[in-house]
Amino acid sequence: MAGASPAVSGGARPAAGSGPGEEGTFSGAKLVLTAFVLSMANFIVVLDMTIANVSVPHISGGLAVSTESGTWVITSYAVAEAICVPLTGWLAGRFGTVRVFLASIAGFGLFSALCGISSSLAMLIAFRLGQGFCGGPLMPLSQTLLLRIFPKESHPKAMAMWAMTVVVAPIAGPILGGYISDNWDWRWIFLINVPIVVGVLVSLIVLLRGIVTPLRKLPIDVVGLLLLVIWVGAFQTMLDLGHDRDWFHNSLICTLAVIAAIFFVIFVIWELTDDHPIVDLAVFRHRGFSASTFALALAFATYFSAVVIVPQWLQAGMGYTATWAGIAMAPAGVLALIASPIVPRIMQKVDPRAIVFAGVSWLAFCAYLRTYWSTDSTLWEIAFPQLIQGVGMACMIVPLTSIGLASVDPEETASAAGITNFGRTLAGAIGTSVVTTLWADQQRLDGADLVASMNNVGGTISQLQHQGMPFDVARGALNQILSLQAQAQATVHVSYYSTAALLLAAFAIWLAPRPKRGMKAASGH
């Protein structure tokens, strides 16, 4: 999400109280404190991507909606954040990096509070959209400001600190979300942001006083932005509502599909012909960028969708509490945290495409391990694929982003970075909707197959009755067993599909030309 960085870099006055150092940089205790606070701002934004995942059953129950509808809480946030990413550079150039950052963190806190007091799903989704719009600029601008306050020779340390928050937050999110949902109330997964935001906001108002970035009246592609919002909104709404409305047998779903298709075509034509496109689609002429972006979007969509449905299965089908579901999911970031600093060094000696292929193939292997899950699986058997897939994530994101950015012309780097992050975030939302629907449909199919394969159903019910169980209770118990087994089988089948999708993403990277030897990891990934 570093696409905004080039638009706002350079030209800062020396910050008041910054001490000795390069122009605009901090030093000593002020540098450490400011870096920590900026990292906390980035941390809570990333945290909110995963903290709600294990809480979907609680949110759905609290608002009296289906679990499938409850996933809109996740997709609405991701879509809003994705749409806002292309605007970050323009906003920072027009109003100043610090002002936009402070306004975004304040808005994020406000919408977090509103999410916490929502009384209906519609209200919660609306406020999650606001949360996503405000949270979108925080990731790239926190990175920009860290690079601003750190001396140039310490930029790798700044990026390491930034990357740590991106990796640690997904570990903490499921555990924290599960604990809050089980012991407090699901509303606190949003309300907990408020005191943190207040502390971050007050601290940054004081610490960043004197940091000035140049203002530029950059042109904004209003038409392109409207077209983007319309086609993305229509497409995502179609995916979210499709399952409940019987897909293309419903007139609303058909209408949304037509709107999404028409406005997408118009959007592509407009962006390719406009002088200042909000999304510079011309970068897709570079084969390396196209191949890496496709592989990243497909792999991330598949990975993120599993992060959403596995906690739901653990709670609905395995009897896990939200806390234990979070514990089972949390190991995903542990090895990623260890492997991330090592991958850039390997890239100096090994073809990055080979690293990507190995990493995404490893994710496919981890997805394949989930095909052995059943209702008898232990916590360790559930957590183990989550643990080892962290290596694959580290080998996927850094090299893929670097290959894509290295493939474009230097003046296109900012646009390419923005598109990469837009595509990755949007792919996560789309993948969640598609896989959630697939999972629910597969449960019905597997349930029907299990019923068809059962022998002597009446005899089984009679045996239960002889054990003292009333007929209705015996039939309900049998239906419950079938439902749990169908859910487990559906999870296994989705894992097979995920394995195939990840293998496709792994082989897609070989469509990219070989990068230059010794290519450095992109600092702005």
Name the residue among 82, 130, 72 with its Cα closest to residue 106.
130
Q: What pLDDT does 114 receive?
A: 93
How far is the C-alpha of 252 from the C-alpha of 261, rounded, in Å? 14
Instruction: Give the pair of three-digit tokens for residue 344.
Output: 């850039």
Q: What pLDDT does 234 receive?
A: 86
Residues 6+ apart with CB under 8 A from 133: 80, 81, 83, 84, 107
How far is the C-alpha of 437 from the C-alpha of 67, rounded, in Å? 11
CA torsion angle 292 298 299 303 (round to 10): 150
Name the residue among 297, 519, 246 with its Cα closest to residue 429.
297
With the C-alpha atoms ordered 92, 161, 391, 487, is the resulting torsion angle positive or negative? negative
Contact between residue 387 and residue 331 where contact means Cβ atoms under 8 Å apart: yes
Q: What pLDDT does 10 receive?
A: 36
One-character DSSP codes across 31-95: HHHHHHHHHHHHHHHHHHHHTTGGGHHHHHHHHT--HHHHTHHHHHHHHHHHHHGGGHHHHHHHH
Q: What pLDDT does 525 receive?
A: 41
Q: What pLDDT does 520 receive?
A: 52
Q: What is the pTM of this model?
A: 0.76
Classify domain 286-513 at the CATH class level: mainly alpha
Q: What pLDDT does 13 receive?
A: 37
The one-letter amino acid code at 114 reads L
Q: What pLDDT does 464 receive?
A: 62
One-character DSSP codes across 127-162: HHHHHHHHHTTHHHHHHHHHHHHS-GGGHHHHHHHH
How far is the C-alpha of 142 from the C-alpha of 147, rounded, in Å? 9
DSSP secondary-structure letter at 517?
T
How far is the C-alpha of 61 from the C-alpha of 75, rounded, in Å? 18
Render each residue's pLDDT in the chain as its tens digit; 525 residues: 333 333 333 333 333 333 434 445 666 777 778 888 888 888 888 787 777 767 777 888 888 777 667 777 877 887 888 788 777 777 877 788 888 889 999 999 999 999 988 888 888 889 998 998 898 888 778 877 877 777 777 766 666 667 667 667 766 777 787 788 888 888 888 888 899 899 989 988 888 887 776 777 777 788 888 998 898 888 878 877 777 777 778 888 899 899 999 999 999 999 888 887 877 788 888 898 899 989 988 998 898 788 878 888 888 888 888 788 888 887 877 787 788 778 878 888 888 899 999 999 999 999 999 999 988 899 999 999 988 988 888 888 778 878 887 888 877 776 777 788 778 878 887 888 888 888 888 888 887 877 777 666 666 666 666 766 676 666 666 777 788 888 889 999 999 999 999 999 999 999 988 876 555 555 444
CATH 1.20.1250.20 correct for 1-13+21-219: yes
Q: What pLDDT does 506 receive?
A: 94
Domain regions of the chain by residue span: 1-13+21-219, 221-277, 286-513
Q: What pLDDT does 360 receive?
A: 93
Q: Do domains 1-13+21-219 and 286-513 have the same CATH topology?
A: yes
Name the residue among 483, 290, 292 with its Cα closest to residue 403.
292
CA torsion angle 417 420 425 430 (round to 10): 160
Residues 6+ apart with CB under 8 A from 156: none
Q: What is the pLDDT of residues 182-225, one digit of tens each?
A: 888 888 888 888 998 999 899 888 888 877 767 777 777 888 88
Q: What is the pLDDT of residues 302-335, one digit of tens each?
A: 987 888 788 888 888 888 887 888 888 878 777 8
